Amino acid sequence: MGNRGMEDLIPLVNKLQDAFSGIGQSCNLDLPQIAVVGGQSAGKSSVLENFVGRDFLPRGSGIVTRRPLVLQLISANAEWAEFLHCKGKKFTDFDEVRQEIEAETDRITGANKGISPVPINLRVYSPHVLNLTLIDLPGITKVPVGDQPVDIEQQIRDMIMQFICRESCLILAVTPANSDLANSDALKLAKDVDPQGQRTIGVITKLDLMDEGTDAREVLENKLLPLRRGYIGVVNRSQKDIDGKKDIKMAMAAERKFFLTHPAYRHMAEKMGTPCLQKVLNQQLTNHIRDTLPAFRSKLQTQLLSLDKEAEEYRGYRPDDPGRKTKQLLQMVQQFSVDFEKRIEGSGDQVDTVELSGGAKINRIFHERFPFELVKMECDDKEMRREISYAIKNIHGIRTGLFTPDMAFEAIVKKQIVKIKEPCIKCVDMVIQELINTVRQCTNKLDCFPRLREETERIVTSHIRDRESRAKDQVLLLIDVQLSYINTNHEDFIGFANAQQSSKQSSKQSNAVIRKGWLTINNISIIKGGAKEYWFVLTAESLSWFKDDEEKEKKYMLPLDNLKVRDVEKGFMSSKHAFAIFNTEQRNVYKDNRFLELACDTQDEVDSWRASLLRAGVYPERSSNDNFSMDPQLERKVETIRNLVDSYMAIVNKCIRDLMPKTIMHLMISNVKDFINAELLAQLYSAGDQGALMDESQEQVQRRDEVLRTHQSLKEALAIIGDISTTTISTPMPPPVNDWLYIIWPYLHPPRSPPTSPTGSRRMSSGQRPSPGGGRGAPPPPNRPGPLGPFNNSADSPQVPSRPNRAPPSIPR
């Protein structure tokens, strides 16, 4: 019955598997198991039935095992079986077990040879079994049949790999004796995931079906393709025996007789057969479980600690308790208020590193987006001058005026002030949208109470919309206040005395940086490298570009005198948007180029750069059909009023940029925070039934049950591990075998004269040993490269014989 103490150890692992079977992937631990791998009709199912001593697995031609079967064998006084999907139902008739496996397989895969990776869990209690846990996997097939997809071979290989690639999984590689071992699918897959052979156990079936005169002695002695854990031979019932209802006990007795009487195997009969395989598997599984337990316990403890706090909150939870609902409602509203304030005011915890949100985004709206909208609103120079000239002419009427009329200045200024309304209203809309987004983000924590989340969003959003109209009215009032009185005595207003200076000269009094950013110069010849990206710096006097944003290596500085901007059509093959800068006096702008074509990734960036150039005095190109002539006197008046308008609008824009954030902050953001703190709870109470507000979602109920179940299962698992006896005996890994032994072994032992089969055919191993001179029947040395390549060590290593007095014959070249 295996080694002492294992009867207590392996059942504990079966209990662990049961503890986790009901909680799915939340405890994804690699429990020690043995996976049975082999080709179709290799005898995998027969080996498993021999373990149980009953006929219970589906049989037939082609692919029969179409879903993984997790088989737990448990030693007990009585004999019965049970399925995990049929809890509480005991199967004493093993024909019904076969029928249930077939029905459950067809339920998932259909009845036409389809496959599925979803396992079937079967537990068999019997006094005739040892404690083993095995996984029977579908046999590897080459050609699809029925409903099987064209890549059926790859799908089965992937399914097998999911189990055997785990370091905690032992591999039972089943290979029929009447096939070439070098072409074994099972050994090939085992070598892929276990190249050292440390967790692979070889099983050779159908030894009684080999051609007459051939045997598998070389394989079973672990000399042909050595495995560190070695090979074990078994003899299963033939199809004729199965059809004739031959008892498995009789089959086991026949197997025992076969090994005792066969001349090639009788010297190792005690190490062959199904009983020996059961003992070896149980010993290996016991060793493996003991090796795995320390890391296993660590994983369980880590998961348990991560769930302790949440499980403590759920323990003793009564969903229908009115007091609990009231307390939880207060906590949820308070948490919502804290989260909203943190998102607006900023906080060091739960920092979003992906994008701006909440207060940071509103700050960007105030100080980047809104000023940008004001700059975009500014009209071009030609349109402004035309409006001023028309205003002057209409004021003078039929007469020719001698002085510059201040009424023209006031009319143009008021028209410009009215245009500010649009960006101001747009700013309010952007802030409102961000507030609503922030509310939705904060209510994510209320997902477990759908009605509460819905009502909270509705109440707060309704309040924000109510404050929206008041904020917009106040913003429009600010504009109307500016329209009501044009204060020409403002300290920053230049006045008529200084109005003769040009707007460009006035703007260039400061050399402050207006904008920085990356731009691509498109019109660089291909010979010189083609389009290149540079770091551009725009001031009131020049446009400079550098190799990188550290601004250490300046490539060029372009003065802004006599420069204008014009549009450039987007190229057919280009993904960028472009504009061009040119000189009005037809001079070269950059080296030999009459214009400088610059490109950005988006049209918004192009508009932003054009607005920045406008602030620096670089205006858009004037169309030829827009030219109109003015007499010198009118031109001087237009220039004077133009400078006055620029000066006064700078004062208005400065005032509006200062007042807009303050107005929105006072009337909307601060008010919404106060509303959430002071009135939200009262509004929720007045909205309807408080009990209905705190009704949990189905997902939350499932989450609570899952957490409590997982937490309890983890505690039970740790308690089970704690009950393991420290006196359990482990069987050591077979020692490594020196490679040279297999090279000189044939020369230390003269070959026998093997019989030849009637057909002259030779199977996986004929038992022949090569003569010193070599020969066609000689097997390759163990470490000779081959389709599989040798595993490093042998589990059943032969003893090195005493060295003869004479030197061994030389190895032929």
pLDDT, position 1: 39
Task: Count how many residues are written for the chain.
Answer: 813
Tally of CB atoms within 10 A around 468: 17
Predicted confidence at residue 773, as pLDDT, reads 40
Distances (CA, A) of 805 to 48, 509, 748, 802, 808: 50, 109, 11, 9, 9
781/226 Cα distance (integer angstroms): 10
Q: What is the pLDDT of residue 785?
A: 40
Q: So what's the pLDDT on residue 784?
A: 41
Which residues is 619 bridged to in the sheet? 564
| d(C-alpha 423, C-alpha 366), whole Å | 11
Least confident span in 2-16, 354-368, 521-535: 2-16
Q: What is the pTM of this model?
A: 0.46
Quick one: pLDDT at residue 317? Answer: 66
Tell me, what's the pLDDT at 747?
Answer: 46
pLDDT of residue 30: 54
Contact criterion met (CB below 8 Å) for 83 and 121: yes
Please name every residue paired with 104 in a beta bridge, in sequence order, or none if there are none.
none
Instruction: Tell me the three-class secondary structure of 750-767, residue by residue.
Output: CCCCCCCCCCCCCCCCCC
Q: Is 38 helix (H, G, I), strand (E, B) or coil?
A: coil
What is the per-residue pLDDT across 647-706, written as a single tens digit (0 to 9) for each?
Answer: 888 899 899 999 999 999 999 999 999 999 998 888 888 876 666 777 776 777 777 777
Q: For residues 390 and 403, give the distance between their C-alpha atoms in angstroms, rounded to a whole number.
A: 15
pLDDT of 500 above 60: no
Torsion of CA 548, 554, 559, 565, to 10 degrees: -30
Give the C-alpha separation, 616 to 511, whole Å: 10
DSSP 368: I
Question: What's the pLDDT at 672?
Answer: 92
- Report pLDDT for 29: 45
pLDDT at 774 over 50: no
Q: Which residue has the higher pLDDT, 424 or 450?
A: 424
Please, what's the b/e burial string for 661-681 (b: 16 or more CB within 10 A of its CB; e: otherwise)? bebbbebbbebbeebbeeebb
> What is the pLDDT averaged over residues 568-590?
82
CA distances from 802 to 250, 735, 745, 805 (A): 43, 20, 12, 9
Phi/psi at 600 (5° precision) = -130, 170
User: 310 pLDDT exceeds 70?
Assistant: yes
Higher pLDDT, 680 or 806: 680
What is the radius of gyration, based on Cα positions, of the chain? 44
Residue among 113, 202, 193 at smallest CA distance from 156: 113
pLDDT at 810 over 50: no
Degrees to nearest 5, angle at CA 61 with 60 and 63: 95
For residue 330, pLDDT over 70 is answered with: yes
* pLDDT at position 639: 75
**In the predicted model, what is the mean pLDDT of the chain?**
76
Pairing relationship of beta strands 577-583 and 595-600 according to DSSP bridges: antiparallel
Query: What single-letter DSSP state applies at residue 349?
Result: S
User: How many Cβ atoms are within 10 Å of 720's Cβ, its own excluded?
Assistant: 18
Q: What is the pLDDT of residue 631?
A: 59
> Confidence class of residue 25 from pLDDT cuts 50, 70 and 90?
very low
* pLDDT, tens only, 227-244: 888 889 998 877 777 777
Quickly list H helices, 315-420.
322-345, 359-364, 370-377, 381-396, 406-418
**Residue 477 confidence (pLDDT):** 94
| 199-213: average pLDDT | 86
For residues 306 and 321, is the Cβ–Cβ distance under 8 A?
no
For 51-89, the pLDDT digits (tens) are 777 777 776 665 677 788 888 878 778 888 998 888 788
Which contacts of 545-550 are long-range, i.e. CB under 8 A and separated by 24 or more positions? 545/519, 545/521, 549/516, 549/518
What single letter denotes the amino acid at residue 292? Answer: T
Quote the DSSP letter at residue 54.
S
DSSP 270: G
- How far is 52 from 125, CA to CA, in rounded Å? 9
Is 97 within 8 Å of 81 (Cβ atoms)? yes
pLDDT digits (tens, 9 = 90+) for 105-114: 888 877 766 7
Q: pLDDT value at position 471? A: 93
Question: What confidence score (pLDDT) does residue 690 get?
Answer: 66
Cβ contact 186:44 at 8 Å: no
Q: How confident is the model at residue 426 (pLDDT cuts 50, 70, 90)?
A: very high
Spatial CA neighbour of 295 closest among 20, 515, 32, 597? 32
Please report, for residues 198, 349, 395, 397, 639, the alpha-carbon distance to residue 400 in angstroms, rounded to integers and kept in the order given.
108, 71, 10, 8, 17
Is the model's pLDDT at 626 over the cut of 70?
no
Task: State the helix-helix crossing angle for 322-345 and 450-484, rounded to 10 degrees.
Answer: 40
Alpha carbon distances (Å) from 519 to 245, 369, 551, 578, 581: 85, 20, 14, 10, 13
Lowest-pLDDT range, 462-471, 541-550, 790-799? 790-799
Ranked by mean pLDDT, the top range of 389-393, 400-404, 600-604 is 600-604
Is pLDDT of 371 > 50? yes
Q: What's the Cα-to-Cα distance from 581 to each of 197, 543, 560, 566, 762, rounded to whole Å?
A: 73, 11, 10, 7, 87
Q: What percent of the chain has pLDDT over 70?
A: 73
Q: What is the pLDDT of residue 573?
A: 65
- 318: pLDDT confidence band, cut at 50, 70 and 90? low
pLDDT of residue 50: 74
- Please tell me the predicted confidence (pLDDT) of residue 768: 43
